[in-house]
Amino acid sequence: MAISFDLTGKAALVTGANTGIGQAIAVALAEAGADVAVAGRSEPTETLALIAATGRKAVNIKADLSSVEPVGRVIDEAVAGLGKVDILVNNAGIIRRDDLLQFSEEDWDAVIDTNLKTLFFLSQAAARGMVERGSGGKIINIASLLTFQGGIRVPSYAAAKSGVSGVTKAMANELAPRGVQVNAIAPGYITTNNTAALVADETRNRQILERIPTGRWGQPEDIAGAAVFLASPASDYVTGHVLAVDGGWLAR
């Protein structure tokens, strides 16, 4: 049997795809042949144009994923625009920083709701359609190095991303017999708008690079390549796995 990374005929939904990792994943899925819907609060003008430039269909869904309120509508609009959802990428997420001894309940709930609760219920809604159609599907969650480590001053983020690992495995156990593979990607230090301050901090940048065996920061395209693999038939026997794409950070 030939190994295939081809996504022709597939429909993907990517959350938080206006910039950075989400944008790179959405465009890479389109380049591999998928039509792509993107969902989030910010206007993804550039992302939509990049998807359209591949010749694939692009659908924009406006939604605030800080709560589960829009979950049903997001799936309905993706199906209305693309006909189905074969691939779901849960990339939308936020982070709040503060000292542990004064970390607020508001910041705790905001991160857990967006990064874990909405992720689960959007996955649940997408999986229902995948199971009903009987043609299987792929769910890809974006985890973090803090899925494996505790971090500093980000307790709710560490808790949520650790939870992403657990819920990925839980969903994989129940959905695998129904033809749906569920996996996660844990990005390392990736050059995006969110990490610009770290890149610009000469001391911190040096410390980070000293820890990365490959000797460089990752690019959003490094994560996109892993996403195409996990979305494609090439990964049909991979499920319940958290794939670290970190230049070797966790190995050191």
**How many domains, the chain?**
1
CATH of the domain at 125: 3.40.50.720
pLDDT of residue 227: 98
Query: Pick the catalytic residue: 14, 74, 144, 157?
Result: 157
Whether 157 sits among the annotated catalytic residues: the reply is yes
pLDDT of residue 1: 65
Condensed to tens digits (0 to 9), the pLDDT of residues 58-84 reads 999 999 999 999 999 999 999 999 999
Q: Could you tell me if residue 215 is inside a domain?
A: yes
Average pLDDT taken over every residue of the chain = 97
pTM: 0.97
Q: For residue 5, give every residue at least 6 positions away whose Cβ sits within 8 Å of its Cβ, in sequence order, or none.
A: 32, 228, 229, 232, 233, 234
Q: Which residue carries 């609760």 as its tokens?
A: 117
Q: What is the percent of the chain with per-residue pLDDT over 90, rounded to a whole number?
A: 97
Q: Residue 115 carries which side chain, given as an amino acid letter?
A: N
Q: Could you tell me if residue 17 is inside a domain?
A: yes
Find the helix or strand (DSSP H, E) in which 123 lies. Answer: helix 118-133
Q: Could you tell me if residue 121 is inside a domain?
A: yes
pLDDT band, residue 2 (cuts 50/70/90): confident
Task: Pick the range with the lowest mean pLDDT from 2-6, 159-163, 170-174, 213-217.
Answer: 2-6
φ/ψ of residue 182, rounded to 5? -125, 120
Q: Could you tell me if residue 6 is inside a domain?
A: no
Q: Is the pLDDT of residue 96 over 90?
A: yes
